[in-house]
Amino acid sequence: MKRVAFLSIDSLDAFVCYDHLLEAPLRALGWEVETVSWHRQDISWQDYDAVLIRSTWDYQDNPEAFLKALEAIEDSGAHLENPLELVRWNLHKGYLRDLERQGIRVVPTLFRDAGSPLNLDDAFADAGVSELVIKPAISANADQTFRLTPETAKARHQELQRVFKERDALIQPYFPAIATEGEFSVFFFGDTFSHAILKTPKTDDFRVQEEHGGHLQAIEPEPWLLEAAEEALSAIRPRPLYARADFVRDTGLPGASGDFYLMEMELIEPSLYFNLDPDSPARFARVFHAWMDPFPSE
């Protein structure tokens, strides 16, 4: 029996996690699964054939320590997925610039470096919209993410200055379709499309995560949504074992065309929502098992 560790956090009590649905199909293929916190320093990672980054949903609080933990795993000889090279690239949302340079249609983004002036008046004027979203460039779970009008931006000026004083930030137009239609997530295991879902926020909110009251449902993706997701995936090297591409339509914005825009390409610790597609756990297990075939146990 080969061993695989699911990298997690100390406690998942505040989160919704579906990775346990992988245990039976992986066991059927000869894999013993153990969930391990990335914070632990008493683990002999070389005892595992593979380590999958899964529910490490506090890494944004100390990204340097997180990367050091992943370096220790890679140095141990255990096979890390997704690989450290991809994690380093995907950790900071500046990766959106890289994808945009490759022709991927991403949500228009103003990148603001830590320590530089936070001038939201100019951002509103440049974007030509009545609402903006600002969030840290290293973030997860919608932590420290603000939806602002010019009025609320002024009212929360001191708070925003404090939060973003020492953090790189992303400033983006708020896409009204988040509330009226929702956010689309398209999942890939290896090069293969697995499933897609639609996430909608609760009333008077814009955060779609379950922890914030969001509603999730399985969908059959429109052909042009799947095309956009496949195009974004094709721009990524090295090839990821798993990927979640999050999109929103531009409906409701000035000059809207109904096109899908990439919000995030999640390659580190995305929830893969195995609960919404009953075949997806076995599908992931098969892809992972085949993926690991070229990497013999030590």
Q: What is the pLDDT along the chain (298 residues), one digit of tens a residue?
A: 999 999 999 999 989 999 999 999 999 999 999 999 999 999 999 999 999 999 999 999 999 999 999 999 999 999 999 999 999 999 999 999 999 999 999 999 999 999 888 889 989 988 889 999 999 999 877 778 999 999 999 999 999 999 999 999 999 999 999 999 999 999 999 999 999 999 998 887 777 787 777 899 999 999 999 999 999 999 999 999 999 999 999 998 888 899 999 999 999 999 999 999 999 999 999 999 999 987 655 4
Nearest to 163 by CA among 185, 182, 187, 146: 146
Q: How far apart are CA 110 and CA 24, in angstroms?
A: 44
- State how far the alpha carbon of 81 is from the alpha carbons of 62, 86, 254, 276, in Å: 20, 9, 40, 23
Per-residue confidence (pLDDT) for residue 32, from 0 to 100: 98
Counted residue by residue, the chain has a size of 298
Per-residue confidence (pLDDT) for residue 295, from 0 to 100: 67
Question: Sheet containing 183-189: which strands, arranged edge to edge?
Answer: 215-219, 192-200, 183-189, 242-249, 260-266
Q: How far apart are CA 17 and CA 26, in angstroms?
A: 17
| Cβ(61)–Cβ(83) below 8 Å | no
Strands (E), 122-241: 132-136, 146-148, 169-173, 183-189, 192-200, 215-219
Q: How far apart are CA 185 and CA 175, in angstroms?
A: 16
What element of type H or E holds 112? strand 110-112
Per-residue confidence (pLDDT) for residue 298, from 0 to 100: 44
Degrees, nearest 5: CA angle 140-185-196: 145
Residue type, 184: F
Residue type, 55: S
Per-residue confidence (pLDDT) for residue 126, from 0 to 100: 87
Q: Which residue has the tokens 């990298």?
A: 7
What 8-state DSSP symbol labels residue 202? P
Full-model pTM: 0.94
- State how far the alpha carbon of 237 is from the alpha carbons of 230, 234, 267, in Å: 13, 8, 11
Question: Sheet containing 146-148: which strands, arranged edge to edge?
Answer: 110-112, 169-173, 132-136, 146-148
Region of residue 200 (phi > 0: left; psi between -120 and 50: alpha; otherwise: beta): beta
Long-range CB contact pairs, 39-42, < 8 A, 24+ = 39/9, 39/10, 39/69
- State how far the alpha carbon of 96 is from the alpha carbons of 33, 49, 235, in Å: 33, 32, 11
